[in-house]
Structure formats: C-alpha cells, structure tokens
Chain A
Amino acid sequence: MKTAVKTGGAAAPAPAAKKKSQFQEVWGRFKKNHLALFGMLLILLMILMVIFSPIIAPYGFDEQNYYEIFASPSLQHLCGTDNLGRDVFSRLLYGGRVSLTIGIISVGIGLLCGGLIGALAGYYGGKLDNTLMRFIDILMAIPSVILAISICAALGPGLVNTMIAVGVASIPNYARILRSSILSIKQQEYVEAARAIGASNSRIISKHIVPNSLSGLIVQASMGVGRAIISAASMSFIGLGIAPPNPEWGAMLSAGRTYFRDYPHMVLFPGIAIFLAVLSMNLIGDGLRDALDPRLKR
C-alpha cells in the first residue's frame, strides 16, 4: 500500500480530465434502467402530445355534436364521445395540459415548501422544530381535500390557484418525510466531520444532508403527481378548479361517472391517461432514486 506513493503531481491532472459531471454520471446510470427510460419516453410523449394538441386533436375540446352523443370509440372518434357529443380524445389532449401542469407544479410546490420546512425543522431541532412541526400538524389535522377546497375557495377558482391549493395541501407529507430522514442523518459522523472542516449550516444541509435523504422524497413525489391530478379533479368537481367546458382529466373522470354503466369509455380513457402519467412518474422516480445512489453504481 505504501508503495503507491510514487508520482506526486504527475498523475494528478489525468483523473481531473476524465471526471464526468454529476449530471452525466447520474444520466449514465439512469439510462441503464430500461423501465425508467420507458417511463421517461412515455411522459415525454405525453407532454409533446399535449403541447401540440391544437395540431393533433381532430376536434375542438368544446365542439359539441348532438348527432353523436355517447358514440363508442371508432375511427372518427378514437376514444368515443361524451354526453354532449364532444370528442373524448381531443378533450384528453387539451385536458392533459391542465392535468400534467397541475400534477407536476403542485408537487413542485409541496416538495419545495415541505422540503424546506422539514429540512429546517429536522436540522435545527428545538424551538424551531416545534414551531414548524406544530404548524404542519395544523395542516395535517385538516383533511387535505378540505384544506385544498378552502384554499381554493379563498383564492378563487383558476389553474394557478388550484395548483397552489393542491400543493399546499401536500406540504405536510414532504415535510414529515424529510424531517425524519434528516433527524437520523444529522447524527452521522460525516455531518460532524463537515462541521469540523468549517462548513456552514446551510452548506451542511444542502450538500451533505439533503442528498443523503433524497430517496424517500423522490418516491413520495412521483406518487404525489397522481394524487395531485386526482385532487385537482375533486376541486373542479365542486366547481373550484378548472371551470367547464375546459377539460381536465380528473374532471372528465368524475363527469363520466354518471354514465359509467352504459358508456364505460367516458371513464376508461381519462383513467388510462392518469394511470399512464402516474406510472411513468413512478418509473422515473424509481430510476432516479437508484441513479442518484452511488452505492448502486456498477
């Protein structure tokens, strides 16, 4: 072992050159996971379809055709039509804009705020922890749908307000998860070691503790996308979310419920859309968690 000390600075620049960026490394590991890659392709495809919905969609989302109400899926109407004769496929495309945005942004809001609260509470402990977590307890004491409804009612209906409402309602989950993992990680010796080399608190939290506690958060977030889409749906169901006739997957789902027995396609296709979105987010989440953990590196 001791003989390894040979070349002082001569060998040093070589590894510097081959060092890959963090992103490249994670991506390298991520793309080996075929399922995760599939999930990523799926969500990308959905996002593209949604973005180009005016081009792709055969009909307008509010185009009613009373001659063809409750039409079964056919070549004219890929996913059939609904009770007002609107093309379900077109509505799915337009609705995806709203649903995917709500799903991703509201999870982002919850993740950021919840993560920040959880990180501060877990790291500093004591009075700050108590104050923040009691605040979180208040949020938790109110059922999340009711909380979202009341926020939405206070802010008024609309896309942005729905995202805020759904995001805020999910803060407690993320805060609790991050706090608990930080509580265990801050006891680790490498945190003390970081303190011993003179790192500041914010640096220790962001560079040492949070990267070590990401895995639980990633899984929770990828599941959260689906949950956010559904709760946004319940918002619009009671008239607080997206106002009809604007389509939205959750709203389509609940609108189709009445006709479920006779015309299942009205429920089936929005359901499949939500399912695919959630599935792909979960696959990505799993892949990301593994890719971010260097111990699983091959």
Chain B
Amino acid sequence: MSEKNFLEVKDLTIHYETDGGVVEAVNGVSFSLAQGETLGLVGETGAGKTTIALGIMNLVPNPPGKIKAGEIVFEGEDLLKKKPKEMRRIRGDKISMIFQDPMTALNPVKTVADQISEVIRLHQKLSRADALRKACEMLELVGISAERINDYPHQFSGGMKQRVVIAIALACNPSLLIADEPTTALDVTIQAQVIEMMGRLKEELKTSMILITHDLGVVAEMCDKVAIMYAGEVVEYGALEDIYEGEHHHPYTVGLFGAIPDLDKDTDRLTPIDGLMPDPMALPQGCNFCPRCPHRRPECETLPPKPHEVSPGHTIRCHLFGKEEA
C-alpha cells in the first residue's frame, strides 16, 4: 500500500431511485487522499457532498439510494466489496464520522459515558471500567471536564455536544475522519473553537480527514486539498494553493469566491451566482453548470466536459480549458 493510495475514490456514482424519478446525486466523482491529509469538499446544498460521505461509510440509505458504479479503495481494499459485518468493524474504528447537527446526533436517553464507551467497547476488547476510563480521557481531550461524563446530552450546550460527538468519532483513533459540516449548527465563536480543536487533534492523532463544508474560510484554514462540487460532480480539484491562488478556475469556483463578502470593499449587496442548481432528476445534457455560466459556449449545452488537468494535480471540468490546450 503506497502512501498515495490511502484512500482513493474512483468514479463514484450514487443515485437515489425514487418513485418520482432517479436523483443523480453523485456522478463519477474521483479523488484521493494521502495519510494525514485533509480534503475539503465544498459545494452548495444538494451538491452531493453528504452522499459521498455516506458512500464512503457504505451507509447510503438503501432503498432508495444505490451506489451504481465506482470504487472506494481504503488501505488497499475496496470498501464497496466488503460484507456488512466487515464494514461494521471498519466503521467507527478506522473510519468515523462527525455529523452535522450535534443536537440530534446524540441519543437523548443515554449518558455521554455510555455513548463514548459504546464505540470503544464495540471495537476494542476492554472491560466496562477501562472503556469508561478511556471515555473520560476522550472527554478531557476535547476540552470537557471528565466530571461531566455521567451527564445526559441535554445537559450540554451545542458546542459541547459537538465536542462530545468529536470525542466519539475519535475514540478509536480512526485513520480517516469524515466531518460533515461539523460547524454549521454552531454559532460563530464556538465554530472557531471547534475548528481549532479539530485541527489540533488531527495533528496529534495523525488522522486524515474529509471536511465537508460550505465555508471557504474553514477550508483555507484546515485543508491540504480541495474539491469543489457542483450537481454531483467535482468541477475543480486541486491543492489548496491551486484553488485559492491558482490562475485558472472553473467559472463556478470563480462565482463561489465572488460571493464571499469583501471587508475592504464598500458594497451594498453581495454578488450571488445567478440561477439555481439544476434539478438532480433532470440534469442538463451538456455541462451541468452551463445554464448559470457567464462564459457559456455552444458546445457547453450539448457536450459534457471532461476533467482537464491545467497543472499537475489541479483538474478543472470545463470546456474553457480543454480547448486552450488543444
């Protein structure tokens, strides 16, 4: 197993087959992650970010969800070919996930002690007392006093609940952590604390991470690689510098960055990207972004663009770039 292949997602395609039609949530997404790296998965609501996360955990709700194609190679093995029992052993132990809303991600009728030690006891052969001791350590690690271990989730504030969720996720020292918008439900001051803490723990525990977020600021702080997603596709993928400082960008990325308010400029209104995301049940024939794209060309409407590598490791899925080279 080479460093490079720690996690490799190839051509992942996930559809939700409902009675009303097929929702093409994720279409041919590929990315890779090396040990200790952090990948930022950025995109609007409904771009398929969470579906990818669930796909990696093999937890896409089925029915209606279905992984149609692709491979998810984790530590040299394809997770999609694993049996449910083997997969259960990986979840929580090697790959774990932080959920978006800490308010609902904890079981209201069980103490925090029970919930943290549950994951420990599921994956490690420890006695109840040892698991509890480990749970206390985890709680201290995320900055909550171990005295509160026997409290119930409703006795914690939102930020502390998210810390508990993080403690659960990190309890077994996973090699991959998937954080699904870990800060969205928190207010701004707590967001900063949680982000700072996650960054620190990631360094300490040498965990790789997939960070799903809307927040480009968080990405800039935490990530090594960034994948910009639009309508189930990665439209731009590259190292952090490529995305934030590179010359060439997908028009959607340009639009995203354009929508960030600039403190130095005195404007009354923000600059949004016109239009809406396409209906995932009826994606456009050509480029998905074409109806909203300011640089639209005739071929965009009929021909889906292929990913094009503008510089090593930096790919853009747009006709603007394929042409220039050719």
Say how far B134's CB is from chain A's closest CB, in angstroms: 9
- Which of B10-18, B116-124, B279-287, B306-314 touches A? B116-124
Extra pairs beyond A2-B193, A198-B90, A295-B152 (12, CB < 8 Å):
A9-B133, A15-B113, A15-B149, A16-B149, A188-B104, A189-B104, A193-B97, A197-B92, A197-B118, A207-B118, A212-B109, A294-B152
Contacts of A292 in B (CB 8 A): 109
Assembly CA distance A14 to B147 (angstroms): 8
Contact check, A295 vs B108: say whether CB atoms are below 8 A apart.
yes
Residues 5 to 52 of chain A near chain B (Cβ within 8 Å):
5-9, 11-16, 18-20
The docked-state distance in angstroms from the alpha carbon of A161 to that of B307 is 72
| Cβ-based interface call for B136 (8 A) | yes
**What CA separation (Å) do A2 and B194 show in the bound complex?**
10
Q: How far is the CB of A109 from chain B (nearest CB, A)?
A: 26
Question: What residues on B are CB-neighbors of A211 within 8 Å?
Answer: 107, 109-110
- Contact across chains for A198 and B93 when beta carbons are under 8 A apart: yes
22 A/B residue pairs, CB under 8 Å, sorted by A: A1-B159, A2-B197, A4-B145, A7-B140, A8-B137, A9-B137, A11-B146, A15-B136, A15-B150, A16-B132, A16-B149, A126-B63, A193-B97, A193-B105, A194-B107, A196-B57, A196-B59, A197-B91, A198-B119, A199-B88, A212-B108, A212-B109
Q: How far, in Å, is B53 (CB) from chain A's closest CB?
A: 9
- A89 to chain B minimum Cβ distance, whole angstroms, is 44
Contact call B119/A197, Cβ cutoff below 8 A: yes
Report whether B140 and A19 are in contact in the complex, using a CB–CB cutoff of 8 Å: no
Asked whether B106 is an interface residue with its Cβ less than 8 Å from the other chain, the reply is: yes
| Docked pose: A1 CA to B144 CA in angstroms | 8
Given A12-B133, A192-B99, A211-B109: A1 in contact with B143 (beta carbons within 8 A): yes
In the assembled complex, the CB of A150 is this many whole angstroms from the nearest CB of chain B, namely 38
B136 contact from A12, A193, A293, A294, Cβ within 8 A: A12
The answer to whether B91 touches A12, judged by C-beta atoms less than 8 angstroms apart, is no
A190 contacts the other chain (CB 8 A): yes
A195 near B91 with CB under 8 A, answer: yes
- Which B residues form the contact surface with A (CB < 8 A)? 57, 59, 63, 88-93, 96-97, 99-101, 104-111, 113, 118-119, 122-123, 129, 132-133, 136-137, 140-141, 143-147, 149-150, 152, 154, 159, 165, 168-169, 193, 197
- What residue of chain B has the Cβ atom nearest to residue A211's Cβ? B109
A191 vs chain B, min Cβ distance (A): 8
| Cα of A13 to Cα of B144 in the assembled complex, Å | 15
A1 and B193 form a contact (CB under 8 A): yes
Q: Using CB atoms, name the residue of chain B closest to A203.
A: B122
A294 with B140, Cβ < 8 A, contacts A16-B129, A196-B91 known: no
Tell me if B154 and A294 are in contact (CB < 8 A).
yes
Are B88 and A198 within 8 A (Cβ)?
yes
Contacts known (A196-B92, A198-B89); A12 close to B140, Cβ less than 8 A: yes
Q: In the complex, A199→B85 CA distance in Å?
A: 10
Q: Do A190 and B105 touch (CB < 8 A)?
A: yes
Q: Is the CB of B145 within 8 A of A196?
A: no
Would you give the shortest CB distance from A275 to chain B, in whole angstroms?
33
Instruction: Check A200 for interface membership: any CB of B closer than 8 A.
Output: yes
Which of A46-100 touch B at CB < 8 Å? none
Q: Is the CB of B109 within 8 A of A5?
A: no
A297: CB under 8 A from chain B?
Answer: yes
Residues on the A chain within 8 Å of B122, using CB: 197-199
Residues of B within 8 A of A8 (CB): 137, 140
CB distance from A42 to the nearest CB of B (A): 28
Asked if residues A12 and B152 are in contact (CB atoms below 8 Å), the reply is: no
Residue A208 CB within 8 A of the other chain: yes
Contact of B147 among A15, A196, A297 (CB under 8 A): A15
Pairs of residues from A and B, 6 with the lowest C-beta to C-beta distance, nearest first: A197-B92, A12-B136, A198-B92, A198-B91, A189-B104, A197-B119
